[in-house]
Chain A
Amino acid sequence: MTRAFLAGLITAVAIVTLAFLALPIVAIFAHTTPAHLFDQLSNPVVRDAFVVSLKTSLIAQALIVLFGTPTAFLLATRRFPGQAVAVTLVELPLVLPPAVAGIGLLAAFGRLGLLGSTFDALGITLPFTQTAVTIAVAYVASPLYIRQAIAVFEATDPNLTAASRTLGAGPARTFFRVVLPLARGGLVAGLALSFARGLGEFGATIMFAGSLQRVTQTLPLAIYAEFDRNFDATLAMSGFLVLVSVVLLLGLRIGLTWQRSPSKRSLYLFGPSASG
């Protein structure tokens, strides 16, 4: 009796939880139709925001991969003093309030910031430019990729890299022919999460880059700006972002399930990071 009651209770709690998580998503689509959504693409505000978001996201993600991958590899494979500090540094943007991240970026790269005079001398102005959006997105989204990359690199069988070395391959060849191919699935997963997070970036961007249409106004900023002017446009952009998130998550899940990877296989995308 008690056991059946408990099982029922747990099921009920789970249903409430899932409903709570699903309701806002359903509500967005309840207010708009796909046709409506496409109509809004002709709205210049929506279109501009779309272009700004896509452009800054792509550049930011490219930078994250370019800088994040070697950093993650180093953190995963070497032991050095201060490593815990380094890993914490990598994870910090994940828990930092985005607005605080924005202020931090402003204090670092702004005209009166730490590096402001250096940039000034070089004739570079960062705040309230599209570059600032890219920087904000890269700052806030990078932990998702780097954390995942560290976990994936740590899971690489050290005997495989050792085997590669004894077979005459140097460290570089070993990395590109053994480590990277085996890590690929995990790295793509990390990148997708980082992309989704970057696309939704709001707080740091509005502090550091402002919300200028065609220049720094990304989709989330446009949603906020249009909120009391054109609710349809807001819904359309929201719907689009939901779709992107769903497609990314589903794609990942399917991709990871199908991948014949010898490394750990889990349905959960946010695996326990070794640093945790």
Chain B
Amino acid sequence: MAALALEEVVVPLRTFSLRLTLDVDGAIALVGPSGAGKTTVLRAIAGLVRPASGRITSGGEVWFDASKGISVAPDRRRVGLVFQDYALFPHLSVRQNIEYARRHRADEYLDRFSIRHLERARPLDLSGGERQRVALARALARDPDILLLDEPLSALDAHTKAGVRSELHDLLRDLGIPVLLVTHDFEDAAALADRVGVIVEGELRQIAAPGELVAEPSDPFVASFTGANLLNGYGERDGGLSRVRLVDGTVITTADDAQGEVVLAVYPWDVTISRAPPHDSAMNLINAPIRGIAEIGNRIRVTIGPVSAEITADSLERLGLEVGQPAYASFKATGTRVVGVRGGSALAHRSGLRSASS
């Protein structure tokens, strides 16, 4: 039995409904754009939002069952919820915040999270990273059956984030209780969770190990969310391969079966950049001026024509790349994935499929 199970939980939101069936074991991350209903999932589990229908169970306990009219109060659900802004009580010290959940074991958590030196400080005087540790300590001091994290890294600056991410990763591994976290950042999700679910407009599109999502995205939205370049074009079979003519006339060769209007996904880390035409196995070569160079963490994203590549700062320097300069982007036919048919957004694609099958 799953530690925490959501069965056909429906929560009406402003313009759409959150509909979710999910078993939470180990560490699961839900990713999606803001407004996709991610936070609502956490609030429904915590009992802060009452779903219109469905069932939520934790272990053997029923926390919510619409058909039986059961809705356990939030204070009886044994949930550790870490809010996006941490929601520390501003009028209480760090120690008092932790004691709020459990009076006698504050010392244990002050030590475990290395925040004993802050015990008398007020939340407003803490840094973002410190606040997060206090919030985690407070949530865990409650001795929860499940830990819920709402955008655990979004309130941190880029500099703090990397360190906190690895700390959090280790913590979640050692915790021994299921963890459900929501984030808009696929990288954070991949770094922290065993399985990642992509949620769009209240609907779970795909849930899998991060590597699997990258390798086999079920639709264009999932592909773009995992960081892929999306190329729209018209595909035709050509022997064992397919050739896709893009809107700008570029022809891409793919090992996938691409026929008709298709969307191809190419991951930036599968794209190689060079100043001269390369002599290698890559079948796809794009020669165009560099459109943009952007820094993402410790990597540089270089955009040439319709594709972006991710390279290191060292490579950027070695190649002496600059915006406006012509360069070559190459990638293998096997580095492309057909992730959907073309036509507006991923949503249109989905609903198109649905109406076709019904």
Contact = CB atoms under 8 A, between A and B. Distances in A.
Contacts of B89: 160, 163-164, 178
B120 to A, nearest CB: 15
Interface string B76-117: 110111010101111100000000110000000000000000
Interface residues of B, number: 26
A113 interface: no
B268 to A, nearest CB: 36
Interface in B42-82: 43, 46-48, 73-77, 79-81
B83 A165 contact: no
A170 B138 contact: no
Contacts of A260: 90, 122, 124
Contacts of B138: 167
A170 B73 contact: yes
A164 B124 CA distance: 18
A159 B83 contact: yes
A170 B100 CA distance: 12
A168 B143 CA distance: 10
B291 interface: no
Contact of A181 (B91, B124, B142): B91
Contacts, number: 62
B81 A166 contact: yes
Interface in A238-276: 260, 262
Contacts of B124: 260, 262
A133 interface: no
A169 interface: yes
Given A182-B91, A260-B124, A262-B90, A168 B101 contact: yes
A166 B72 CA distance: 12
Interface residues of A, number: 18
A55 to B, nearest CB: 34
A15 B61 CA distance: 70
A165 B75 contact: yes
Contact of B48 (A166, A167, A170, A178): A166
A177 B100 contact: yes
A162 interface: yes
A39 interface: no
A174 to B, nearest CB: 8
Nearest to B98: A167
Which of A163, A169, A181, A182 has the most CB atoms of chain B within a 10 A radius of its CB? A163
B100 A166 contact: no
Which of B47, B83, B139 has the most CB atoms of chain A within a 10 A radius of its CB? B83
A123 B73 CA distance: 47
A66 B88 CA distance: 29
A157 interface: yes
A157 B124 CA distance: 15
B142 A165 contact: no
Given A162-B48, A163-B81, A178-B89, A168 B142 contact: yes
Contact of A167 (B85, B91, B101, B122): B101
26 contacts: A157-B87, A159-B85, A162-B46, A163-B81, A163-B83, A163-B88, A163-B89, A165-B46, A165-B73, A166-B48, A166-B75, A166-B77, A166-B79, A166-B80, A166-B139, A167-B139, A167-B142, A168-B76, A168-B101, A170-B73, A170-B75, A181-B91, A182-B90, A260-B90, A260-B124, A262-B90
Given A162-B48, A166-B74, 11 more contacts: A159-B85, A164-B100, A165-B46, A165-B73, A166-B48, A166-B79, A167-B139, A168-B75, A169-B75, A169-B100, A178-B89
Interface of A: 157, 159-160, 162-170, 177-178, 181-182, 260, 262
